[in-house]
Structure 1
């Protein structure tokens, strides 16, 4: 059974896709007639190779000069860089976009790994429960503030500037009529304490106060890195959602 599907750029037709079983490889490059041919003068003749490995895959970069980037289209900027000459770099994403620099262009194709496996959750064991690393209550106002902080990046703009307090207030007002910049600030302070964020050296002002922008950036980075908020949580910002 195949575990990896390679989808050329614009190749929505199943006949254009490459299906790989575990252990099988697919090479790609400008003159690769036996694999994925990329007709662009800026792509190496033998640019790289994909190998299926059960529920994930590896990428070998056979270019001598170009770094390849594998993006997670669902990961708010999450990506893996594969240096020139690197062999068998493991790629963990279920949906991936391989981006190749080619002259002044960026050439891409997709790789799907639909056989991602997850352990079955065992029944309750005797003894005290494991403490939660990030104890967040999705019904609380602070969680709505966290979602609003991450909203732009969750929508696929990983380098977008974070919203200001005024913009956060506008996003939250449809479901929180009494929201104000002060209440937003209070919730950001509370999240910083709840998630145990220690002030980084470059986020502390001369008077010892932590700068708001530094805290927001670290909150968003932590939330997206550990999936504390997901794209589905954006529904909390829609009018009529929440409480």
Structure 2
């Protein structure tokens, strides 16, 4: 079953998931210095700078500025980006993760857009032909979030079923040989995205200010191992253990 959310807009300096803006297919969001939905408080941003419309697995961006080009970056795409010219309406954005960058009087302002309904062909098929079964959870093994999930699951997949889930810092160190920019912040970002992608429910201790991140990691590992979202052979996405820095 799909999550009802089509896309999720993460404002600049978003303190927690409660401040994210969630759109269902067909819904729209405006952004700008005086926008009602996403306010970007900078004198270099137009009062009504643009509009985002959710379209299911992707979204479209309208640039309402008369003079500024906007750039939509794929943070995982090694420089992959698209430009949206001034006045361009309904430009489709194909990235699962996007960073919208607006020039603003010498500064660059940015906010993120997630499209968690992106789907991918199943990694394993039964070879019987006919209509393909829609996977309950669609994960892309080439994305960094999958490497983060594999690193979280690794101790238990390597024969220690009751091993503690790695800390965020341990995951960052584990992934650093292939992902030099891995840090506590980037790993935590991917954990938060996985919680959205896999539709985890908010726990009671999260609502009460308890150990939110620890509970989220435990829930992700439990779900991934229960439904074979990560298998032992998937650990090949991780660097060889000999490369991990101490």
Query: Normalising by structure 1, what TM-score?
Result: 0.52
Whole-angstrom distance in 2 between the partners of 1:10 and 1:118: 30
Question: Residue in 1 aligned with 2:74?
Answer: 72
Q: What is the rounded CA distance, in whole Å, between the counterparts of 1:237 and 1:37 in structure 2?
A: 45
Output the CA distance in 2 between the equivalents of 1:101 and 1:54: 28
CA RMSD of aligned residues (A): 2.8
Q: Quick one: which of 9, 12, 17 aligns to 1:9?
A: 12
Query: Cα offset for 1:119?
Result: 3.5
TM-score by length of 2: 0.51
> Per the alignment, do residues 154 and 85 of structure 1 end up closer, same or farther by CA in structure 2, a change over 3 Å counting?
farther
- Cα distance change, pair 14–154 in 1 and its aligned pair in 2 (3 A): closer
The answer to whether the Cα contact below 8 Å between 1:64 and 1:85 also exists between their aligned partners in 2 is: yes
**C-alpha separation in 1, matches of 2:59 and 2:177:** 30
Aligned residues: 141
Counterpart-to-counterpart distance in 2, 1:125 and 1:82: 44
Out of 234, 237, 243, the residue aligned to residue 239 of structure 1 is 243
Q: 1:99-118 residue pairs with structure 2 within 5 A?
A: 99-118=101-120
Residue 47 of structure 1 contacts residue 63 of structure 1 at CA under 8 Å; is this kept in 2? yes
* Shift in alpha-carbon separation, 1:77–1:124, aligned structure 2, 3 A: same
Match of 2:29 in 1: 26
Mapped contact 2:14–2:20 kept (Cα < 8 A): yes
**Cα drift, residue 78 of structure 1:** 1.0
- Which whole-Å CA distance do the structure 1 matches of 2:63 and 2:25 have between them? 19
Counterpart for residue 185 of structure 2 = none
Deviation at 1:62, TM superposition (A): 0.6
Check whether the contact 2:74–2:99 (CA below 8 A) recurs between aligned residues: yes
Q: Give the C-alpha shift of residue 153 in structure 1.
A: 10
Cα distance, 1:236 vs structure 2: 5.5
Distance 1:96 1:81 in 2: 12
Q: Secondary structure of the equivalent of 1:108? A: strand
Per-residue CA deviations over 1:167-225 (Å, capped at 9, x if unaligned) read xxxxxxxxxxxxxxxxxxxxxxxxxxxxxxxxxxxxxxxxxxxxxxxxxxxxxxxxxxx
Shift of 1:125: 8.0
Give the Cα separation in 2 of the matches to 1:153 and 1:37: 37
The 1:119–1:233 alpha-carbon spacing in structure 2 relative to 1, beyond 3 Å, is closer
Q: Quick check: 1:76–1:155 contact (8 Å CA) kept in 2? A: no
Contact 2:73 2:100 in 1 (8 A): yes
| Structure 1 residues not aligned, in runs of 5+ | 127-150, 157-231
Give the aligned partner of residue 222 of structure 2: none
SS in 2 for 1:235: coil
